[in-house]
Amino acid sequence: MAARLVPHLPPRLVAAVAQAVYPRFEPELARLGDFCPPGCGTAVDVGGWYGPWTRRLSGRARSVLTLEPVPHLARLLSATAPGNVRVVEAAAGDRPGTARLWLPPDDPGDRGVSSLVRRDIHARAVPVRVVALDDLGLREVGFVKVDVDGSELAVLRGATALLTRDRPALFVELESRIQPVAPVVTYLRMLGYDGWVLPGGTWVRLASFPLEEHQAHTAHVASHGLLRRVTPFRDRPRYVNSVLFLPDGRRPAGTRVRDDGTHAVS
C-alpha cells in the first residue's frame, strides 16, 4: 500500500518521512558514530534513494558525494540536500559508460529496488550513466556506503585505488537472495578489510555470524515494506542485510563488540 501511495505524495514529504524512520529500518544508521566520526573528510553515498544516509552523513563529514541513477530522485536530492552535498545522477560501476537500470513494473524508482542486475521483480529498463568512484577525483574519503541491489563488486572494483589510498570505512548491503556474498567478502579481505554486523545491540564479526543462513531464516521479513518493518510494538526478527567493513584491524568505536563464539541466526 505504501508503495502505491508514494507516487501521489509530495516528494519532499516522502523524503522527510524516509529520513525520519530509516534508522529504525537500518539501526546501523543510528550508530553512525561507531564508524564515521565527526569531520571524517569526504563521505560517499552510493545509491542515495530519498537521502536518509546522505542527510546524516552531511552532519558528520566535511563533504558528501551522493550517487543516484534514478533521475527524479537525483533531482530531489539536489534540491533538498545540505550545502556540503554534491549529487551526481549516475550509477557506480567498475568503468565509465552507460548501462540499463532495471525497475519493477509501475515503479519509477521510489521503492529503492532498482538495479543494474536484472531480477525477477524487474520488468523494464532505462539507460543511465555509469561512473567509477576512482574517476571522480575524490580525496580524503573516510566513509563509503554502497546500496545497489546486486552490483556491489563492480562498485568496489571501480573504487580500488580509493580504498587502497584512503582506507575508508565501508558499509555495504549484501543479500544472498540477490547475489552471492562471498565474492565481495573475499575481494575486500584481499584489500585488508574485515566485516562486522549488528544483529542486535552489539557489533559481531562477520566471520562469527552465519549471514547467509540468517538471511534464509528471516527472508520473509525482507518481503515486508519499509513502513511495516519500522512499525513499533511488532514482534519480529531482524533481517540483517548490511555489513560494515573496516580496514587494518580497526573495530567499531565503543565497547559494545563481540568477536568470539557463534551467534543465533534469527
Question: Domain map of the chain by residue range?
Answer: 2-258
Q: What is the pLDDT of residue 17?
A: 57
Q: How confident is the model at residue 27 (pLDDT cuts 50, 70, 90)?
A: confident
Q: What is the pLDDT of residue 110?
A: 80
DSSP 59: T
Q: What is the pLDDT of residue 58?
A: 94
Q: What is the pLDDT of residue 264?
A: 38
For 132-156, what is the mean pLDDT? 96
More confident residue, 112 or 205: 205
131 three-state secondary structure: strand
Q: What is the pLDDT of residue 38?
A: 84
pLDDT digits (tens, 9 = 90+) for 72-110: 999 999 999 999 999 999 999 999 999 999 999 988 888
For 35-53, what is the mean pLDDT? 92
Q: Hey, what's the cell of 43? A: 563521505
Q: What is the pLDDT of residue 48?
A: 94
CATH T-level topology, domain 2-258: Rossmann fold (3.40.50)
For 170-182, what is the mean pLDDT? 93
259 three-state secondary structure: coil
**Residue 192 contacts residue 248 (beta carbons within 8 Å):** yes
More confident residue, 1 or 98: 98
> Would you say residue 266 has pLDDT above 90?
no
> Would you say residue 3 has pLDDT above 60?
no
Lowest mean pLDDT among 18-22, 65-69, 250-254: 18-22
Q: How confident is the model at residue 15 (pLDDT cuts 50, 70, 90)?
A: low
Lowest mean pLDDT among 41-50, 62-71, 128-137, 233-242: 233-242
* pTM for this prediction: 0.85
Q: List Cα–Cα distances, 152 to 18, 47, 115, 162, 179, in angstroms.
A: 23, 11, 10, 15, 9
Q: How confident is the model at residue 19 (pLDDT cuts 50, 70, 90)?
A: low
**Residue 25 contacts residue 18 (beta carbons within 8 Å):** no
Q: What is the pLDDT of residue 65?
A: 98
The rounded mean pLDDT for the chain is 85
Select from 53, 45, 74 the least CA-distant residue to 155.
45
Select from 140, 167, 166, 170 the least CA-distant residue to 155.
170
Q: How confident is the model at residue 229 (pLDDT cuts 50, 70, 90)?
A: very low
Q: What is the pLDDT of residue 154?
A: 97
Q: Hey, what's the cell of 9? A: 505524495
pLDDT digits (tens, 9 = 90+) for 110-133: 888 899 999 989 999 999 999 999
Q: How confident is the model at residue 265 (pLDDT cuts 50, 70, 90)?
A: very low
For 145-161, what is the mean pLDDT? 96
